[in-house]
Amino acid sequence: MHDLIPLIEHFGLPFVFLNVLLEQGGVPIPAYPTLLVAAALAANSGYRPYQIVAVAVVAALTSDLLWYRAGRRMGYRVLGTLCRVSLSPDSCVRRTHSVFARFGPASLTFAKFVPGFGLLSTALAGASRTPLRTFVAFDLIGALLWSSVAVVLGIVFRNAIDDVLTVLANLGAWGLLLIVTALAGYVFAKWWQRVRFIQQLRMDRISVDELKELMMAGRAPVIVDVRSATLRRESGVIPGAVSVNDDDSVPVDATLLQDAEVVLYCACPNEASAALVARSLLKRGFKKVRPLHGGLDAWVAAGHAVEMPSLVEA
């Protein structure tokens, strides 16, 4: 640990690049502490603060472009991959779609400051066919703001950061253990948060075949599409489906629905959005509410038809 500070000073820029690249790629290793420390040590390291910003921006753009290309190639299915590699429990909830739909590519300018949205926004930009030039322009602004804030904070509080690093260096192996423990604790906290989120989604599902049989028998349940308006316009809806409002309310007289069977669907892993809205409806007095297993993707994969929004929405 006595060599920690010289090590950071010597390998600061490559370490910044690697850390930012991994974090923006979805690995739960926070890059802001690295940026703060690198900025605090810049005066003694031989590199300038603007170089730290430049390296961080290049790393962020490199990672973001990879997810953008994945979004272009895989469409909204890329969100499933993101949910598997990211420990953020919010990365597959429909409200992140709503934010991107509301602000469009301009949301990339602040996306990195919003937990769970920074990684998702780059893939959403690709899936929504945002032009590459537009994506790079807004993402560049966002990466520049995000990294500049960290570097400025590192410079402003460099004395306090130097004191902390000196204490850790004086602790020797115990200081290294403290850093490793803190990092492990952060990763564990993120993992546990995701586990708790997945536990909230546990409830009975209805299969695509069951839903189709009910519809064919004339006993179709109330079908609710909980996806964003953008996704409904692009991929269509299950025939007869209604959509939820921003407050998770169904735009049908609740007194007629509380004793009826309700099926909700989305297009995200674990039917996360559908399950969350289902729980909300159960708390409001609805008796039988189930998410559709596999969501719209499973419905389409089974060969069943969808209706385009122009036919079902005003």
User: Do 216 and 195 sit in the same domain of this protein?
Assistant: no
CB neighbour class for 141 (10 Å; exposed up to 12, middle 13-18, buried from 19): middle
CATH of the domain at 244: 3.40.250.10
Check residue 12 and give its pLDDT: 75
- State residue 2's pLDDT score: 44
Domain match, 191 and 291 both: no
Total domains, the chain: 2
Residues 233 and 140 in one domain: no
Q: Within this chain, do residues 236 and 133 fall inside the same structural domain, yes or no?
A: no
Share of the chain above pLDDT 90, in %: 23
Nearest to 206 by CA among 266, 290, 294: 290
Same domain (yes/no): 20, 158: yes
- Exposure on the CB side of residue 201, measured as CA atoms within 13 A: 22
Q: Which of 146, 169, 200 is the last residue of a domain?
A: 200
Q: Is 237 helix (H, G, I), strand (E, B) or coil?
A: strand
Whether 182 and 58 share a structural domain: yes
Last residue within a domain, chosen from 174, 200, 226: 200
Decide: residue 278, CB within 10 A, 0-12 exposed, 13-18 middle, 19+ buried.
buried
pLDDT of residue 238: 92
166 and 183 co-located in one domain: yes
Confidence of residue 170 (pLDDT cuts 50, 70, 90): low
Q: Are residues 177 and 214 in the same domain?
A: no
Question: Looking at the DSSP assignment, which residues form a beta bridge with residue 158?
Answer: none
CA distances 60 to 17, 56, 66, 177, 215, Å, are 8, 6, 10, 29, 48
Q: Which two tokens stand for residue 147?
A: 């990294």
169 with 50, same domain: the answer is: yes
Contact (CB, 8 A) for 88 and 115? yes
What is the greatest pairwise CA distance in the chain?
A: 76
The four Cα atoms 286, 291, 292, 297 give a dihedral, to 10 degrees, of 130
Query: What's the distance, CA 151 to chain centroid?
Result: 24
Question: Which DSSP string do the residues of 154-180 spell out, in sequence order?
Answer: HHHTHHHHHHHHHHHHHTTHHHHHHHH
By C-alpha distance, which of 25, 89, 27 is closest to 60? 25
Residue with tokens 């399950």: 275
Note the pLDDT tens digit of each residue in 200-209: 667 789 999 9
CA distance 223 to 61: 41
In this structure, the answer to whether residues 116 and 259 fall within a common structural domain is no
Kind of pairing between the strands at 261-265 and 242-243 = unpaired
Is the pLDDT at 229 greater than 50? The verdict is yes
Q: What is the mean pLDDT of residues 214-219?
A: 89
Residues 99 and 19 in one domain: yes
Phi, psi of 307 (to 5 degrees): -105, 140
Range from 9-18, 30-39, 173-182, 271-280 that averages highest in pLDDT: 30-39
Asked if 181 and 188 count as a contact pair (C-beta separation under 8 A), the reply is: no
User: What does the pLDDT look like over 263-291, one tens digit per residue?
Assistant: 999 877 677 788 888 888 888 778 888 99
Range of 286's domain?
A: 208-312
pLDDT for 31 equals 87
Residue 78 near residue 119, CB atoms below 8 Å: no
Helices (H), the chain: 4-10, 12-25, 32-40, 42-45, 49-74, 78-85, 94-103, 118-127, 132-156, 158-170, 173-200, 208-216, 229-235, 254-257, 272-283, 295-301, 309-312
Q: For 233-250, how does the pLDDT look when each residue is reduced to its tens digit (9 = 90+)?
A: 878 899 988 887 655 555
Where among 200, 229, 257 does a domain terminate?
200
Residues 187 and 225 in one domain: no
